[in-house]
Amino acid sequence: MIAVTGAAGFIGSNIVHQLNRRGVTDILVVDVHPSDAGQANLSPLSYLRYLTKDDFAAWLGDPSNAAELDVLYHMGACSSTTETDAAYLDENNFGYTRDLCLKCLDAGVRFINASSAATYGDGEFGYVDDHAGIDQLKPLNLYAKSKQDFDMWAKAENLLERIVCLKYFNVYGPNEWHKGDMRSMVCKGFEQIRDHGGVNLFKSDRPAFADGGQQRDFVYVKDAVDMTLWFADHPLVNGIFNVGTGEANDWNRLITAIFRAMDRDPDITYVDMPDHLKGKYQYHTCAAMDKIHAAGYDRPVTVLEDAVADYVRNHLVSGTHLGS
């Protein structure tokens, strides 16, 4: 049996979908009570049972139940980078994750956890996923800090040789409609183009970067999930790993790819960055991928333009959820 927390969410529902494509349906899907949009992610998928996060924690605490479970993909968390309730994030993102981790280790369940590239902060210390370097990282928001807190706790407890923590970079793809302002720029950019004909991007206030030239490691969710499932297939590989492409692309290339997928010419307007983002905005991210490749993962990632075209034409245009 497999369990997926955050299963009504973005990466979680993509994991369930990919498991279904493998013929796996013996899945516990776990989430808070999903919104209509979250339920739309789940409804086309096949699974054994739905549990709320609290019910799942109690279920996992029963040794007879835990003995049935092989793998837990823990994708559930508050992922808002603008969340200001530190106590909530500490309980929901750190405390709950810690408790599930310990229960899985006690029961011999493979524990694969979603960390985040946001833990790298402004990139001052690079984007290398070695364990020694995580102590010096300086997250820029409370969400990132909650992810860093778990990584640091796991390191302090000498658990990183027994579990997997995946630092997802800028993931985009189908089933992210419910995320509101936390949706990827592919999703939001598509809607801006569809409704208004053009897209707004932030101006740069750093001479080294042109307007719209701020860079991200954009990774298609289908590639991110493929990497995630690989760790369940290779139970001897543990630790902190980046999930990205190893390539930094700027917003201009990403947005141009959306226009091309919609058969339109680019129309980009550059606007001032809001004050609340100044000093907290990443200008460059790029996942170091040497570690995961050295561990044995060797599948190529989808070229950005091809991934954007697939997302736009097969999901955004029609509003099609995975499995529909």
Kindly list the catalytic residues.
143, 179
Angle at 176 between CA 319 and CA 298, to 5 degrees: 110
For residues 291 and 152, the answer to whether their CB atoms sit within 8 Å is no
For residue 171, which of 65, 235, 242 has the smallest C-alpha distance?
242
Rounded Cα gap, residues 95 and 88, in angstroms: 10
Please tell me the chain's helix, strand, coil percentages from 3-state DSSP, rounded to the nearest 5. Answer: 45, 15, 40
For residue 6, which of 90, 80, 104, 73 has the smallest C-alpha distance?
73
Angle at 205 between CA 204 and CA 211, to 5 degrees: 15
β-partners of residue 171 are: 219
Structure tokens that stand for 176 in this block? 């992210």
CA 199 to chain centre: 24
Rounded Cα gap, residues 178 and 127, in angstroms: 29
Rounded Cα gap, residues 96 and 23, in angstroms: 30
